Structure formats: C-alpha cells, structure tokens
Structure 1
Amino acid sequence: MNYYSLEKLINLYDGYRKLFKIDNHNLLLLQLDGQRYLIESRCPHRGHALSTADMEGDQIVCPLHGYRFDLRSGALQHFTEEPCRSLRRYDIVDRDNELGVVLDN
C-alpha cells in the first residue's frame, strides 16, 4: 500500500474536477457542495469517461447511457440497459494540507 498525493487543499473549490492516472487506477477527484469524492473515472457499464458527467444532487450521471451512481456509496441508482456493478470509490486521505489516496500497487 502506497500513499499518493493528489491535490493541495487550497486548490479545491465547488465544481472542481481532475483526472489522475496512478498505475492501473484511473481516478476522478470531485468537489461538490463542499464534499469531496474520489471515484473511478470511467462508468462501470461501458467504460465511458465520467470527467464530463452531469451532477444531479449527490449523483453522477454517465453522459453515454444515463446511468446514475450515488457519489457517497457508489451504488447504481438508475440504469437504461442492463444493470452493472457499483461505481468504485476511494477513501481520501487528508495529509499536510493536501489530499491523497492510499492504493495497492
């Protein structure tokens, strides 16, 4: 398990979105209404990028097929084709005025 620094706290704001590629992990860091989320950056349904996805409340909506996932739990809330697994979430680590993540290599 290794710690990876992602962003300084001073750079975060509501509406913030940034992609990170760490080894085989593709991550998306978001801030919405003061809450920060770190999720996988591609929809588990068909692998479409979520970096331009719409946000509706605490849900992220995949722009390809309209699948909706709860940002707090990752749970699939709505699907338009076959159901898929939940969206992977990652625990954010707050360390020395920055955010990071601990990942398996």
Structure 2
Amino acid sequence: MRFYSLDKLINLHDGYRKVFKIDQYQLILLQLDGERYLLESTCPHRGHPISESDITGTTLRCALHGYQFDIASGQLIAATAQPCRGLNTYPLIYQDTEIGVML
C-alpha cells in the first residue's frame, strides 16, 4: 500500500467535491458540515458519476436513477429498480498539511 495525497487541508471547505483517478480507483472526496468522506465516484448501479448527485444531510442521491446511499458508510439506503451494492468507502489519512488515502 502507498500514500496518495489528494489535496491540501487548506483547500477543503463545506461543499467541497473533487474527483480523483488513482490507478483503477475512481474516488470522490467530499466535505459536509466539517466532516470529510472518500467514496468511489461512480454509482454501482449504472456507473453514473457521483459528482452530479444531490446530497441531503448525509444521504447522497444518484442523479440518474435516484438510488440513495449513506455517505459515511456507503450503504445503499433506497433503490428505485433492482438492488445494487453500496458505495465503497475509504479511510482518509492526514499527513502534515495534506489529506490522502492508502491504496
């Protein structure tokens, strides 16, 4: 495993959304109400970009078919058609003035 820096902590703010591609991983870093989350960046149902999703509280709603996921756990909360798996989540690593992930 290796540390990948995603951004400087000074750049993060509530409403922050940024997509990253690291090797085969496609990730999105979010900050909401001071909390930071790192998730896979495409909906497991049909691969729609999560960056286009609506967020209410800690629920993310895919813009394509309305599937809903818990941002903190990645768990599928509601499916509008056939069920799918939840979103993969990744622990964030803080290193000096940067935030990143071990992959």
Instruction: Tell me which residue corresponds to 2:86.
Output: 86
TM-score by length of 2: 0.98
Which runs of 5 or more residues in structure 2 are unaligned?
none
User: In structure 2, what residue type is equivalent to 1:16?
Assistant: Y
Where do 4+ consecutive residues of structure 1 move more than 2 Å?
Answer: none
Which runs of 5 or more residues in structure 1 are unaligned?
none
* 2:62 equivalent to 1:62: yes
User: 1:13-24 maps to which residues of 2 (within 5 A)?
Assistant: 13-24=13-24
User: In structure 1, what residue type is equivalent to 2:4?
Assistant: Y
Q: Secondary structure at the match of 1:51?
A: helix
Q: Secondary structure at the match of 1:10?
A: helix
Instruction: Tell me which residue corresponds to 1:36.
Output: 36
Deviations 1:41-90 (A, max 9, x none): 00011110011110011011100000000011110000100010010000
Alpha-carbon offset, residue 97 of structure 1: 1.1
Instruction: Tell me which residue corresponds to 2:74.
Output: 74
* 2:100 equivalent to 1:100: yes
What is the alpha-carbon distance in structure 2 between the residues aligned to residue 86 and residue 7 of structure 1?
A: 25
What is the alpha-carbon distance in structure 1 between the residues aligned to residue 63 and residue 10 of structure 2?
A: 29
Cα RMSD (Å): 0.5
User: In structure 2, what residue type is equivalent to 1:47?
Assistant: G
User: In structure 2, what residue type is equivalent to 1:14?
Assistant: D
User: In structure 1, what residue type is equivalent to 2:99?
Assistant: L
What is the alpha-carbon distance in structure 2 between the residues aligned to residue 101 and residue 15 of structure 1?
A: 20
What is the alpha-carbon distance in structure 2 between the residues aligned to residue 89 and residue 64 of structure 1?
A: 20
TM-score by length of 1: 0.96
What is the alpha-carbon distance in structure 1 between the residues aligned to residue 5 and residue 27 of structure 2?
A: 12
Identity of aligned residues (%): 58
